[in-house]
A and B are shown apart, each in its own frame.
Chain A
């Protein structure tokens, strides 16, 4: 409530206007001669009471009266984007397409993690009005940030993904389920995007497939997969023929096919192609747009404007009267 509660010790000062008045008195030869002035007495009382209240407000202001933490609803206009960022150990490996013979050379180029951060930094910077949430995942999903419009912290989180080595395995299924949970209990806004940033596909079991399908359809989420193709990894689209069953053995093909049959808008982008990424960013603009409502906890706020403003308002009558006061018996007053 109060940041400096010891200032409340000054509260007795509020009694001052009852004891004294700041309006200068003038000597009068014979006070009994003056007629009673009920209006003047009333005015004097009002002035004193107002000044008492004014000093109380002022002291409350000094003690820094603040309003406690509360939840407000922030209304935005942008899309809601949840980013799932792969933090597994494989993300430490090199990024980019190479031919078979080059794979054997251990050349240190940009890592997949580095490429992912570069891509995401650009992505977030070009979507300034969107609410962005971030979920990291490895063996388990790790909640990093809720949907937020404050992109400074999102950028700080993307940057922090470059610290240290990757963690462990990858479980895209669990991450997808947790990522879709961001949209639970939120009013539908028309533009919801789940961005999966990963360097590999995954085989998903039946239960996980059903869960993802249900949640994605229920929340009507558009799904974007930014695929970081590692050295020697397959592309997303099968370059050679073969039956579905044969192709599904490759996790990347399987995941791509699963996503495209999900029943929600789905696009896959290969991170190495800047044109594709630009397309991904502008694709979000084409989505239908309704205002977004995000509950946000506001920390305690100082009420200094209100307390000091109130003090000013209550003390103003005294100030005005003092400005209008007669400081000497002038000729006009004698008339």
Chain B
């Protein structure tokens, strides 16, 4: 049909057809905006995170050494507050599950689910986490952590554990008889999150109805590791377990932060939590506020790369802005010509200024 037209002419016609005019740019911008407003979702490979939040609900969580917006609050209240904040800060597509810890056991309330879809349910169950629902009065934290790592190791290795605790073992542990981790460090990834102040505070004693009835006293709390201390009938010299075996490192002993005589007071045992985190190849973070926690968790290593339905609106909108710029600023130029034109703008300015001077 167009065989009579010379090849150059055809090429030129093609160039004219492809060259965006202001009109084409405006039409393009309008089309892109229409697409952006329809909010298309396209699956793109993106890093996704899956977290299992486990909250220590042992009695020391009643300790009022935290603050919410400047007001004094108990550790449990602070956790509820900042965990809700953290859930809000996690991007859609992230999965979050919840568990509680008391005694020596972690109880998983539910396995991780998508946070945006289940925000209401997640926020509601976080708001009901309370030391009032404990089933045992001890707080053997290391055992609780190992316990839940075991669940994840057997099932869902992609999920990272986020264990929120003050690190106060009750009864206290000794370097020789403390619980040993039997799994593979690093097989399950995770975080230990410390809550509380480094200074000692009394632990409120709360009755069944949630009223405070004084504080825990020195003689009401186990001050020593039960394995290393004597039997009650034996005058203190006879030990519950054989003493001996390997050497214990003085460094580890110091880092356990056991404080016989002051175990009825509570503090954030950060050195101990850092020791545990090192042994488990976990990360350690201190709970300040939920948004910071969410940012740190998301900034960490992703659980997996997955095809996630992704909103394209922002990208389409940015392209629309570019089209508008082309339409308004300098028309009838191909985008690359336009870019070159503006990149060389300072040069032309300089030339324009230099010319009258040379005259």
Interface footprint category on A: 35 or more
Beta-carbon nearest neighbor of B106 in chain A: A164
Among candidates B121, B321, B329, residue contacting A146 with C-beta atoms closer than 8 Å = B121
Q: Is B200 an interface residue (CB 8 A)?
A: no
Q: Is A150 an interface residue (CB 8 A)?
A: yes
Main secondary structure of the interface of A (DSSP, over half): mixed
Q: Is B75 an interface residue (CB 8 A)?
A: no
Main secondary structure of the interface of B (DSSP, over half): helix
Tally chain B residues at the interface, Cβ within 8 Å.
Answer: 62
Contacts of A169 in B (CB 8 A): 135
Given the known interface contacts A150-B121, A153-B113, the answer about A13 and B321 at a Cβ–Cβ threshold of 8 Å is yes
B residues bordering A, Cβ < 8 Å? 21-23, 25-27, 29-30, 33-34, 36-39, 88, 97, 99-100, 103, 105-113, 116-125, 128, 132-136, 147, 151, 155, 311, 313-314, 316-318, 320-321, 324-325, 327-329, 331-332
A52 to B183, CA, bound (A): 62
Q: Is A191 an interface residue (CB 8 A)?
A: no
Q: Is A209 an interface residue (CB 8 A)?
A: no
Q: Is the CB of B119 within 8 A of A156?
A: no
In the complex, how many angstroms separate the beta carbon of B326 from the nearest chain A beta carbon? Answer: 9
In the complex, how many angstroms separate the beta carbon of B99 from the nearest chain A beta carbon? Answer: 8
A152 to B314, CA, bound (A): 30
Contacts of A311 in B (CB 8 A): 33, 317, 320
Q: Is the CB of A160 within 8 A of B121?
A: no
In the complex, how many angstroms separate the beta carbon of A64 from the nearest chain B beta carbon? Answer: 6
In the complex, how many angstroms separate the beta carbon of B153 from the nearest chain A beta carbon? Answer: 12
Q: Is the CB of A145 within 8 A of B124?
A: yes
Q: Is the CB of A143 within 8 A of B128?
A: yes
Q: Is the CB of B118 within 8 A of A150?
A: yes
Give a binary string over A138-151; 1 marks a CB under 8 Å from any B CB, 0 the rest. Answer: 11111111101010
Q: Is the CB of B331 within 8 A of A296?
A: no
Q: Is the CB of B27 within 8 A of A61?
A: no
In the complex, how many angstroms separate the beta carbon of A200 from the nearest chain B beta carbon? Answer: 16
Residue of A55, A153, A167, A319 with highest tally of chain B CB at under 10 A? A153
Among candidates A21, A62, A319, residue contacting B30 with C-beta atoms closer than 8 Å = A319
Contacts of B136 in A (CB 8 A): 139, 167-168
A13 to B128, CA, bound (A): 48
